Amino acid sequence: MANSRIIVWDVGHGSSVSILAPNGRTGMLDLGANTETEFSPIKFTKSMWRLDRLNHLTISHPHIDHIRDILNLRLLELDTLNALEIPKEQLFAERIQEKDRDLLNAYVQLKQRFSGPITALKDPNNPSWGGQGYFSHYSIKADWQSEPNNASIVTFYRSGKFTLLYPGDIESRGWNELLKSKEFVNDLKSTAFFIASHHGREAGFSKEIVETAAPQLVIVSDSWFKDTSVTDRYSHLATGFEVINDNTGTKEKRSVVSTRADGRVIIDVSDLGNKTTANVRVKKTLS
């Protein structure tokens, strides 16, 4: 039996996902952190899985809410990185708070360190990377200064017949461009769980994308509900999946779960070769 564990962390307004592949390799998607509770997914992941290295990291795009935990990356050795190449003068072109400059500088330095080719043995896009667990990445040509969200790297994580879609903050034009790719559409059609783009905001919603994916469950990573949130649209398009609440012990079929209401989302995937099953739990914590 091949097992994967995926954890979508409650980092307030931000995103961070930790992944344990069947063969023990580890990956993370984005580096959000919770500023209210000072919770660091990197620190927790390192302790939980007793890590001294992280095998893969994808940073969808370097907006602060997606890299707030980046300084803690020094606690782990990193094997491979997938991140956008953005000139430093463009990254710092916007008005940013002084405390965020260190985060952007760390991003630039990290990207410079991982500018070379990736060997086949360490390639996270290789189906053998995680022992039946691996990634696929897609992006479009988008100008960072005029449409940074559409520059997002869109990631699929596949384990057996299970697929998770993590799209960063991509918006309507980005989705429409990706739909022109047959390879992307094929991966999209395999999606079981869909992490909502742009924290469930209207700008990241595409009816055609969600209808094509036909996910069982949509996951929203955000800290509060806004007027531009479109959770109801996702709930009408997802087919539903049984979710266990660790705090109450109850089970309920859900179309959408959110970190703001439900806490962290823990997904366990088991692959028997001819059959893949998933178990989903949500858990509110103090940290």
Reported as a single tens digit per residue, the pLDDT across 51-100 is 999 999 999 999 999 999 999 999 999 999 999 999 999 988 777 888 89
Q: Structurally, how many domains does the chain consist of?
A: 1
Binning pLDDT at 50, 70 and 90, where does residue 226 land? low
Binning pLDDT at 50, 70 and 90, where does residue 234 land? very high
* pTM of the predicted structure, to 2 decimals: 0.95
Q: Which domain holds residue 48?
A: 2-283
Which pLDDT score, from 0 to 100, does residue 271 have? 87
How many beta carbons lie within 10 A of that of residue 227, not counting itself? 6
CB 31 within 8 A of CB 40: no
CB 168 within 8 A of CB 66: yes
What CATH number has the domain bearing residue 153? Answer: 3.60.15.10
Residue 158's closest CA among 175, 137, 178, 181? 137
Q: In the predicted model, is pLDDT for residue 227 greater than 70? A: no
Which pLDDT score, from 0 to 100, does residue 247 have? 94
How many beta carbons lie within 10 A of that of residue 74, not counting itself? 10
Residue 61's closest CA among 133, 123, 154? 154
Binning pLDDT at 50, 70 and 90, where does residue 116 land? confident
Which pLDDT score, from 0 to 100, does residue 1 have? 63
CA angle 126, 104, 89 (to 5 degrees): 105
CB 40 within 8 A of CB 65: no
Question: What are the pLDDT digits (tens) for 147-160?
Answer: 999 999 999 999 99
Looking at residues 13-30, what average pLDDT do you find? Answer: 97
